[in-house]
Amino acid sequence: MAVGDNTPIIVGAGQYVEREATQNSPMQLASQAASAAIADCAGDNIAAAIDTIAVVKLFSDSTKMWACPFGRSDNPPESIARAIGASPAHRIYSQTGGNQPQSLLMEMATAIARGEKSMALLAGAEAIRNQRNAQRHDLEPDWNESFDAELEDRGFGDMVATNQERKNGMVAPMYYYILIEQARRHRLGFSVDDYRAQMAQLMASFSQVASDNPFAQFEGAQSAEDILAAAPLTHLYSKRMIAQDSVNQAAAILVCSIGKARELGIPEERWIYLHGMAEGTEVDLSERADPSTSAMAGMVVDRALDMAGASVADMDLIDIYSCFPCAVTALADHLGLADDGSQALTLTGGLPYFGGPGNNYSMHGLAEMVRQLHDKPEAYALVTTNGGVLSKHASGVYSRKPSPIDWAEADTYVSNHSLERKPIIEDPGKGTVISYTVNFLAVDAAQAIVLAETEDGGRFVACTGPEDNETVQACLGEDPTGRLITVSAPEDHTLHFHFAESA
């Protein structure tokens, strides 16, 4: 197949892991991954040819929950540039979200196809394990770096939660995902115990893949029994079912045009073609017509597969974003893939077992895809990404086979205008539970949160009051889905719920 010199291709990928704690900063780790990606190209003068470095937003720069006391680089792309000997014209620091590696790749592919850029390095890292180790042992590493070079800092990005959600106990991503998970459990008709067993079986298959991955943060494989026996976080999740952020991991990929690859002497067997890419944003969780999934996740992966002229049955390699089990099953359900662990749905081993390096996990998924395709010239790979709470989606299809798509003109954006939005009710008075979570503190059930619907179809989130252990225990004792609740609004503007029968 004849392809133009402006066709964008991935030409290198690198990963780096420190399993033992050191005092290295995240930018030092990212520079190691960038160097590995350059070496992977097997070309000449690669660093000097890089005109754009885009770095995925660190968790410490994303939210106060992960704030770092040891300083930071005020220009992460320039930190990497100095380490690898590059002088980029463009330095980008991304928005937040696990979709960012794939979204940046789409952006760079379009710019390269249009002749606006020639070679881009995409990189990211987390050194949260090093940070926490230093805090525990009263160490004081200095991670400050300051540069005068120009930086395009894209900030936080779109919010993916309503004010009402945040005011009523939804203060961590896990609480959103558990509402999705619980709604799916109810839709499928599983008991709590049976559903937990199914999740553990699926996640154990991810852990097995991670145990064979040399770049995984955590050694060994966990069985379904191990996963179930871990400390409870909610009425469904144990600690071993969710993304683990205490990692020292970095990944990077290089993308350029075919013309630039030839100029730099990068062998054709290193070239990975982009066959289909798409991205789109879901509505807020409370507003979703079906809170047990994300319609946008399916729309985005369908667009990517359609662009590639392929179906999921054509995919030899699959990496589905896996921060929580429902992130995997949302797409497995949509694509008709087995969710019992019998079908490989990860290339890395997933965020709970390979490691969850913040917003940058999917850079590892892309890097692993590149590594495996190098050995499989006829294969196709699907990589899906997710940011927020099944909110920001991006998917891509890849192969060593040439692609005829003109990325200068390709439409990769999927609009959410067709998605139904349920109205948010600020003072509901009463409603019916459609999903819930019981959140644990240590080993004790501490709070219940419900997503509920009013008689006329409005939505709201409410929580139990600080002393209302009776309602918390009632949610543990019997599935409250479908039960009527009454709601009071104390002076702090939260919504406290009680079951109507005992109100």
pLDDT tens digits for range 198-213 = 999 999 999 999 999 9
| Assigned CATH class of 430-502 | mainly beta
Q: What is the pLDDT of residue 501?
A: 67
Which helix (H) or strand (E) is 180 found in, with range?
helix 173-188
pLDDT in single tens digits along all 503 residues of the chain? 778 999 999 999 999 999 999 999 999 999 999 999 999 999 999 999 999 999 999 999 998 888 999 999 999 999 999 999 999 999 999 999 999 999 999 999 999 999 999 999 999 999 999 999 999 999 999 999 999 999 999 999 988 899 999 999 998 999 999 999 999 999 999 999 999 999 999 999 999 999 999 999 999 999 999 999 999 999 999 999 999 999 999 999 999 999 999 999 999 999 999 999 999 999 999 999 999 999 999 999 999 999 999 999 999 999 999 999 999 999 999 999 999 999 999 999 999 999 999 999 999 999 999 999 999 999 999 999 999 999 999 999 999 999 999 999 999 999 999 999 999 999 999 999 999 999 998 778 889 999 999 999 999 999 999 889 999 999 999 999 999 999 998 777 799 999 986 43
CB contact burial 172-193 (16+ within 10 A = b; e otherwise): ebbbbbbbbbbbbbbeeeeeee
CA dihedral in degrees (209, 211, 214, 219; nearest 10)? 150
| DSSP label at residue 409 | T
The residue written with tokens 């190691």 in the block is 32
Q: What is the pLDDT of residue 355?
A: 98
HEC sequence for 373-396: HHCCCCCEEEEEEEECCCCEEEEE
Q: Which residues pair with 17 in a beta bridge?
A: 249
| Assigned CATH class of 8-160+243-414 | alpha beta
Q: Which two tokens stand for residue 209?
A: 């893949």
CB 86 within 8 A of CB 31: no
Domain regions of the chain by residue span: 8-160+243-414, 430-502
CB 174 within 8 A of CB 242: yes
Q: Which phi and psi angles does 464 have, rounded to 5°?
A: -75, 150
Q: What is the pLDDT of residue 444?
A: 84
CB 245 within 8 A of CB 34: no
CB contact burial 197-214 (16+ within 10 A = b; e otherwise): bbbbbbbbbbbbbbbebe
Q: What is the pLDDT of residue 133?
A: 97
Q: What is the pLDDT of residue 63?
A: 85
Q: What is the pLDDT of residue 503?
A: 38
Q: What DSSP line would sit under 241-302, residue for residue?
A: GS-----EEEEEEEEEEHHHHHHTT--GGG-EEEEEEEEEEPPPGGGBSSTTS-HHHHHHHH
